[in-house]
Chain A
Amino acid sequence: NAGVTQTPKFRILKIGQSMTLQCTQDMNHNYMYWYRQDPGMGLKLIYYSVGAGITDKGEVPNGYNVSRSTTEDFPLRLELAAPSQTSVYFCASRSTGGAGKYNYEQYFGPGTRLTVT
């Protein structure tokens, strides 16, 4: 298994440009997540999905959009890039584990380092 893969690894955007960060997992996980990591802030949840066709906002969703048309893919869209979106973005996935099961670990991709200037 390749696990969770993300593309691109690095990207520089100009203010106002748009882009899509790609995330794919081959573990048949229902849950998928997008986080951003800023120095000293830990990881903040942007959006998550509990299955194809179902997405919901996390802690910091403004300026981002997601879709989940397949189990494998969970792209993150930035429509009008702003300097505040300079960050490292991580995609993660996990198994469902059944009702009431919250003890399954997340599997992380290698990250996308985005700079907006």
Chain B
Amino acid sequence: AQSVTQLDSHVSVSEGTPVLLRCNYSSSYSPSLFWYVQHPNKGLQLLLKYTSAATLVKGINGFEAEFKKSETSFHLTKPSAHMSDAAEYFCVVSEGNSGGYQKVTFGTGTKLQVIP
């Protein structure tokens, strides 16, 4: 069975300090993993994706994530938070289902607050 757990519903950091948003997944196959960002009252935008190539994935706006199969984790990091990073972040796992179609599961989201 496929599942995603975002370990923190809220994370608060000071501007200029590192960001860590944690995501653990469960998948029967070799999944693809994504991080999306949602700014208030907006749709979701792709930050980055892991597709079985390099385990360290770089995304937009200075974010990156590392796929660790042994830990079934895909944590999102950024060295230095900016005020514009305040948003909600979703970890997503994708794999094929028995019908040959893509099965996608979203985590429940982590709200990032950046304090000036």
Which bracket fits the contact residues of B?
20 to 34
With A40-B109, A42-B108: A103-B44 Cβ-Cβ less than 8 Å: no
* B49 close to chain A: CB less than 8 A: yes
Is the pair B102, A111 in contact by a Cβ cutoff of 8 Å?
Answer: no
Q: Closest approach, in angstroms, between the C-beta of A56 and any C-beta of chain B? A: 8
The verdict on A43 contacting B100 (CB below 8 Å), with A103-B51, A105-B46, A108-B45 known, is no
Cβ–Cβ contact B45 & A102, under 8 A: no
Can you name the residue of chain A whose Cβ is closest to the Cβ of B52? A103
Q: Which residues 64-117 of A have a CB within 8 angstroms of B?
A: 90, 92, 94, 99-100, 102-103, 105-106, 108-111
How many residues on A have C-beta within 8 angstroms of the other chain's C-beta atoms? 26
With A102-B96, A103-B94: A108-B106 Cβ-Cβ less than 8 Å: no
Hey, what's the 0/1 contact readout for B85-105 against A, CB within 8 Å counting as 1? 000001000111001111110
Residues from chain A with a CB closer than 8 A to the CB of B101 are: 31, 48, 50, 56
Q: Which residues of A contact B (CB under 8 A)?
A: 4, 31, 33, 35, 40-45, 48, 50, 56, 90, 92, 94, 99-100, 102-103, 105-106, 108-111
